[in-house]
Amino acid sequence: MRPVLGACDEASAEAWEDAFGDPSPVWGVWSGAEEGTVEEVSGGTRLIYQNILRYSAQPGTGRIASVTQSPEHRSARATAWSSLWLLTRRDLKVRYSTSLLGYLWSILDPLLMSLIYWFIFTQVFNRTVGESPYIVFLLTAMLPWVWFNGAVSDSTRAFLRDVKLVRSVALPRWIWVGRIVASKGIEFLLSLPVLVGFAVFSGASVGWGLLLFPLGAVLLAALILGIGLIVAPLTVFFRDFERAIKLLLRVLFYASPVIYGAGDLPHFAQPLAWLNPLSGIFSLFRAGFFPDQLDWGLVASSAGITAVLLVVGALVFRRSVGGVLKEL
């Protein structure tokens, strides 16, 4: 069954067609539906906007797909989360549906980068940073870094990728940033078997600090969302901002404790670790394998900076989203 779209006008329908591929519409009025609802229905999807639905026919039958009424008291929060999941899943399908390697692409980049740094610092140079096994030390920060780097970079085009859909569909606007955080986060989770494999192969010891791994993931997701809410609207107004962000991310990689630990920094550079929210977050990811890397002071600093960025991002986003819609 093809997707079902609810829209207020033909422009919304065309935007949804471009995004989800729905070629044969039949229009109808839907009473009792909640505005902005997006949910699964009999293997398809529906999006309800201003009580007008667009029904699509089942392939090869010409029959209108069956749709059931959504719960009358469904909360706006539940609606937003279901919409977020739908768009996140769509992003993943688009990214991998035509790819020969598919899932492997989500692990090749961090795996190859980690192997390169492992070779350089263990086989070419006498390593003086990090801990052994060094490949596990690298992966515990490289995998979260790939999530952070990819999501922040893609957030610069959060509105520009689907302009017609953003302008036409009545969804909470933060979802266009949230879907990027979520899709990259799922790729991060799918890459964790690589870390597990190298940990087993290298004989890395595992401690209670592994329980802090989910906390690191939550803080990192919040940090990315806060930054994304800032860069997404600003890129619409200043297109050079996209290139500036990519340049800053390259610098931030070496300024963050990925190939080294925060404690490896010289004394004069220690303040950089406290100002970089990734320092404490990466220490949470490493705590399960390298307990000495855990620094609760850095974690507290990272949590505070993350909270500030999330609040600032929400304020910037709320004040600029109106101008964004006019600019698109």
The pLDDT value recorded for residue 107 is 77
Q: Answer for the pair 8, 38: CB distance below 8 angstroms, yes or no.
A: no
> Which residues, in sequence order, are CB contacts of 39 under 8 Å at separation 6+?
45, 46, 70, 82, 86
Unique residue bearing structure tokens 């190939």 = 259
Same-domain status, 69 and 84? no
Same-domain status, 95 and 67? no
The pLDDT value recorded for residue 287 is 94
Q: What is the pTM of this model?
A: 0.76
The closest alpha carbon to 315, from 203, 246, 230, belongs to 230
Highest mean pLDDT among 29-33, 68-72, 76-80, 289-293: 289-293
Which of 34, 49, 74 represents a domain boundary (last residue)? 74
Q: Distance between CA 15 and CA 254 in Å, rounded?
A: 40
Q: Answer for the pair 192, 210: CB distance below 8 angstroms, yes or no.
A: no
| Residue count of the chain | 328
Q: Answer for the pair 159, 233: CB distance below 8 angstroms, yes or no.
A: yes
The pLDDT value recorded for residue 74 is 52
Same-domain status, 58 and 128? no
The pLDDT value recorded for residue 8 is 39
- Residue 101 is encoded by which pair of tokens? 């390697």
Same-domain status, 50 and 186? no
- Residue 283 is encoded by which pair of tokens? 């220490």
- 321, part of any domain: yes
What average pLDDT does this structure show over 40-51? 40
- 65, part of any domain: yes
Other beta carbons within 10 Å of 97: 8
- 37, part of any domain: yes
The closest alpha carbon to 177, from 22, 6, 320, belongs to 320
Confidence of residue 57 (pLDDT cuts 50, 70, 90): very low
The pLDDT value recorded for residue 219 is 97
Confidence of residue 46 (pLDDT cuts 50, 70, 90): very low
The closest alpha carbon to 23, from 59, 48, 61, 65, belongs to 59
The closest alpha carbon to 1, from 37, 52, 55, belongs to 55
CA distances from 315 to 87, 150, 160, 283 (A): 24, 23, 21, 29
The pLDDT value recorded for residue 51 is 34
Same-domain status, 30 and 91? no
Contacts 24+ apart (CB under 8 A), 102-109: 103/190, 106/187, 106/190, 106/191, 107/190, 107/191, 107/193, 107/194, 109/146
The pLDDT value recorded for residue 317 is 92
- 2, part of any domain: no
Q: Is the pLDDT of residue 151 over 60?
A: yes
Other beta carbons within 10 Å of 46: 25
Same-domain status, 139 and 232? yes
| Average pLDDT for the chain | 77
Same-domain status, 281 and 193? yes
Identify the three-state secondary structure at position 100: coil
Identify the three-state secondary structure at position 5: strand
Same-domain status, 39 and 92? no
Same-domain status, 66 and 116? no
Q: Is the pLDDT of residue 283 over 90?
A: yes
What average pLDDT does this structure show over 285-295? 93
Highest mean pLDDT among 5-9, 61-65, 212-216: 212-216
The pLDDT value recorded for residue 64 is 32
The pLDDT value recorded for residue 123 is 78
The closest alpha carbon to 233, from 126, 319, 116, belongs to 319
Unique residue bearing structure tokens 């000495």 = 292
DSSP class of residue 23 equals -
H or E element in which residue 47 lies: strand 44-48
Same-domain status, 33 and 148? no
Q: Is the pLDDT of residue 213 over 90?
A: yes
Confidence of residue 315 (pLDDT cuts 50, 70, 90): very high
- 21, part of any domain: yes
Q: Is the pLDDT of residue 152 over 90?
A: yes
Same-domain status, 99 and 212? yes
Which of 44, 74, 104 represents a domain boundary (last residue)? 74
Confidence of residue 218 (pLDDT cuts 50, 70, 90): very high
The pLDDT value recorded for residue 100 is 62
Q: Calculate the CA 62 to chain-centre distance.
A: 38
Same-domain status, 172 and 258? yes
State which residues form the domain around 153. Answer: 79-327
| Radius of gyration in angstroms for the set of CA atoms belonging to the chain, rounded to a whole number | 22
- Residue 272 is encoded by which pair of tokens? 């950089």
- 121, part of any domain: yes
- 296, part of any domain: yes
Which of 41, 74, 107 represents a domain boundary (last residue)? 74
Tally of domains in the chain? 2
- 3, part of any domain: no
Confidence of residue 221 (pLDDT cuts 50, 70, 90): very high
Q: Answer for the pair 52, 27: CB distance below 8 angstroms, yes or no.
A: yes
